[in-house]
Amino acid sequence: MLEIKNIVKKFNNKVAVNNISFTVGKGEIVSLIGPNGSGKTTIIKMISGLLSPSQGEILVSGNNVVDKPKETKKDIGYIPDEPAIWPYMTGEEFLRFTGALFNMNEKDRDRSISQLLDMFDLSGVEKEYFENYSRGNKQKFSILAALLHRPELLLIDEPIVGLDPLSAIEAQKEFKKFANEGGSVLLVTHTLSVAQKISNRIGLLDKGKLVAIDTFSNLCTLTKLPATASLEEVYEKLVK
């Protein structure tokens, strides 16, 4: 579903992402972890088309994100680390607007909105303006907007920041359900327990380089830690 081939991203003379390659298959959740400034969000933004790679290729469903931006964007649902929503729009208006951007017909859009609102028990809240929402509710509507058009690939940058514990649990369930139904998920997070819990594979970035990417079990073997170790312990072994 997603192929990253030797991508490099430079900002002036600074190399933010340094020759990274990996894939995310259908039905798979891959998490990227690493220190601040290691290139995680830059990778997400390049896949989504918000940034262009300096070198290398990014393919979504076989389409190059630079050469065929419209074709790739229709397959992507993007949940940014900071919800960027016009404050004078209601939650319902935002979801309807998002559906229109993806050319959803009204019947499918309205049915999908109704189903998604139940996910976080938001029925009634969608009539309020975003300027009155809590950080958590803004994040919830960002998640719903990403799922609305039934994408093939979910790009998620710090999904549970600001969510209450029950909503965070529900979000994780939805991401796993999405993958179980054949979707692909790339998750960027500092919440290592979440990455360990829901990921099929975990990639560890440091200073723009991909130090390792594998199943948690294999990462434990790589670091000579027992299978009962935590991702925090694996992380400490690999990033020094």
Q: Where in the chain are the domains?
A: 2-75+153-238, 85-150
Beta strand pairing status for 14-24 and 2-11? Answer: antiparallel
Among 3.40.228.10, 3.40.50.300, 3.50.50.60, 3.30.1010.10, name the CATH number for the domain at 2-75+153-238. Answer: 3.40.50.300
CB 205 within 8 A of CB 40: yes
Q: What is the pLDDT of residue 97?
A: 92
Q: Please give the model's pTM, rounded to 2 decimal places.
A: 0.90
**Rg of the chain over CA atoms, in angstroms?**
18
**Which residues of the chain are modeled with pLDDT < 70?**
240
Q: Is 201 helix (H, G, I), strand (E, B) or coil?
A: strand
Q: What is the pLDDT of residue 160?
A: 76
Handedness of CA 115, 116, 121, 127 (dihedral sign): negative
Q: What is the pLDDT of residue 48?
A: 92
As a whole number of angstroms, the distance between CA 151 and CA 149 comes to 6
